[in-house]
Structure formats: C-alpha cells, structure tokens
C-alpha cells in the first residue's frame, strides 16, 4: 500500500474554520470543485465532479469538529476506490496545521504522482480560502495535465 501525505499551515485561522471548509458543501465548493453536492455529516455521502473527466463519491466516515475529517472513496477512478482521505487539524500558535493523508493506494502508479500534485494545489487553495476568503476550486484550479 502507498499513501499521499501533505502538511499545510494556515495562518491566522483556527481549526474550526478549516473544519467548516472541509465539511460544508459551500466550503468544499469554494476550494476543491464548484460541482460539490451531498452532506459532510458522518455517515452521509459527498459527490465531487470535475467536468469533463469525472469525479468521486465519498462516504463520510468520521467528523470531529475542529480536529479531524475522514472519507472513504466509494466511486471514482479504480485507483481511488477503497482509499481513505483524512485531514487531522491542530492549532500551533497563529496557524492551523493540516495533516493530509490519502491512504491505501494499492500501488504507487503514475496516476498517484499526478494526484499528489493536484492534492498539493488544492490544499493551497484551501489555505487561500481560509486566509483570504478566496480559493481556486475546479475549474479555476492550476491545470497540470489530463488525468490519464
């Protein structure tokens, strides 16, 4: 198994502000993809679409306000199905530290490298949203290439 790991510090924020951006449809649509539907509550489903290439359906496994959000991928590219996406949040001085993990890839295929780069770009979009009020969600995200 292989994992994608990132760490981001978000200045002048608190973990609850970041948590809200990870658990509300409006928050998620403001930094990841505008085409976000569903519910960020534990046990519910979130759907993310990235036209024209597709998207992902996530089961919300865990939400601890201001501390952690965990999803399981139930639909999307084959490499993603069954993986988990986890954010751990903590306060460190003037920063909220986001420890991000996309866990459980069966093997480190080239698509995983692409996804790691895209996750980094979207985590910086999350940082921008919380710090400035403006993220860069799809379709306004940094374009690096087609998925495959």
Mean pLDDT on 74-88: 97
Q: What is the pLDDT of residue 148?
A: 46
Convert the pLDDT of each residue in 104-142 to its tens digit. Answer: 999 999 999 999 999 999 999 999 999 999 999 998 887
Composition of the chain by helix, strand, coil, percent to 5: 25, 40, 30
Convert the pLDDT of each residue in 41-54 to its tens digit. Answer: 999 999 999 988 89
Q: What is the pLDDT of residue 144?
A: 67
CB-based contacts of 61-69 (< 8 A; 24+ apart in sequence): 63/19, 63/23, 65/16, 65/19, 66/14, 66/15, 66/16, 66/19, 67/15, 67/19, 69/19, 69/22, 69/23, 69/40
Q: What is the pTM of this model?
A: 0.94
The Cα–Cα gap between 145 and 64 comes to 35
């Amino acid at each position: 198994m292989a994992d994608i790991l990132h760490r981001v510090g978000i200045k002048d924020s608190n973990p609850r502000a970041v948590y809200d951006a990870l658990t509300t449809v409006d928050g998620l649509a403001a930094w990841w993809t505008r085409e976000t539907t569903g519910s960020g509550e534990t046990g519910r489903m979130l759907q993310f679409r990235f036209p024209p290439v597709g998207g992902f359906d996530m089961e919300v496994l865990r939400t601890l306000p201001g501390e952690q959000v965990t999803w399981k991928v139930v639909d999307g590219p084959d490499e993603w199905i069954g993986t988990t996406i986890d954010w751990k949040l903590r306060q460190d001085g003037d920063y909220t530290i986001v420890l991000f993990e996309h866990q459980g890839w069966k093997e480190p295929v080239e698509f995983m490298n692409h996804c790691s780069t895209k996750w980094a770009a979207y985590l910086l979009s999350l940082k921008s949203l919380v710090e400035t009020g403006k993220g860069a969600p799809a379709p306004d995200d940094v374009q690096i290439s087609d998925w495959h």
